[in-house]
A and B are shown apart, each in its own frame.
Chain A
Amino acid sequence: MRAMVYRGPYKIRVEEKDRPKIEHPNDAIVKVTRAAICGSDLHLYHGVMTDLRVGHTFGHEFIGIVDEVGSSVQNLKVGDKVMVPFNIYCGTCFFCARGLFSNCHNVNANATAVGGIYGYSHTTGGYDGGQAEYVRVPFADVGPSIIPDDIDDEDALMLTDACSTGYFGAQLADIHEGDTVVVFGAGPVGLYAAKSSWLMGAGRVIVIDHLDYRLEKARTFAHAETYNFVEYDDIVMLMKKLTDNLGADRAIDAVGAEADGNLFMHITGVKLKLQGGSPIALNWAIDSVRKGGTISVMGAYGPVPNAVKYGDALNKGLTIRGNQAPVKRQWPRLMEHIRNGYLKPSDIITHRIPLDEIAEGYHMFSSKLDDCIKTVVVPPSAA
């Protein structure tokens, strides 16, 4: 089968790989019909994630057709069109039994601090991902769902991670009616988080980024008030001025490890990998939110330490919440919002490319060329 493979930092190619096999009775093999490149895939592409092996296939956002099922699979059959959450989880461990699907303890042999994720290095379990023609899906009776007939395929694709993560991020921010919410980052997760903040009754939603075309999308897609931090000497001061010098009630970090805006942090965190990513957005969130406020961290960071301003967070009495989204828990409500016309997740897709052009797709997304926000990848067998 054709599959994207990692060759080293900033280098990927498409090559022939063996089709994955059933390795456990509850496995399924899914023939991928659409995959997407996620902002967090860039942490892999840039070599920021640890235990990232040459030959690894990325891709934790994908949908497809069930091609084969293991002997114990009951809830799916060959031919079903499914959406697959980026979390791999067993459904019965201490964490899954409480709904913490992203924290499953039975699927990641390599680390206990993170659950299993498709195509996201061996630090998240060593599973190849969906930027390929076929993918192994463990615990097929637990993770995947059949895509309802009235849900568009590309909307379903966005629900496998980015949209669900943004929606979950707004929930973690604990938004009350009339709250001012500041979202750092106007990438896919930031756009969905901003949009979701309104669903939860925010009174004002502010989005910060340095890419004007993404801020334009935040205004049109997410109805947000936007600011380009490049135009201000001190973005935290601006947030204070906009909020009567108190600070925003809630902040959402939708940037994570690749943050820009402070040269020292960017070089040490992103270029030299001396930190688990650049914590600029998180530090801005800490300083921009009011005392007693809440910060929701959706941006992904690596496992090594970061220079986070925890002293400010402590002195301000902040609540900082984060987690990988337990994706499937979000689906029923998000599908209601789609059916009600409140949300059209696929509206943020800007590019659709063949799998064989994925190296250029990654460079384009990484370098923010061609006003790229979200790229969908089409395998040759699904073109």
Chain B
Amino acid sequence: MEPVSLQALKRIAGLLGYDWTEEEIERLLPLVEKHLAALDQLDALPLDDVEPAVGWRIPSGTP
């Protein structure tokens, strides 16, 4: 995983319309790194032929 920089986080937050201070973003940095590392672990799964679970197995219709 590429190291995450404060500048990158500030840029992303700004693009999304959030005006967070350097101090606020600095506090988030270790949490972002931790969670992105957890997300990287998803690459260990065999996801090639797996579609996202954006639907659910709800039987359709009304009773």
Report if A and B associate in a common complex.
Answer: no
Residues of chain B touching chain A, judged by Cβ–Cβ distance below 8 Å, are none
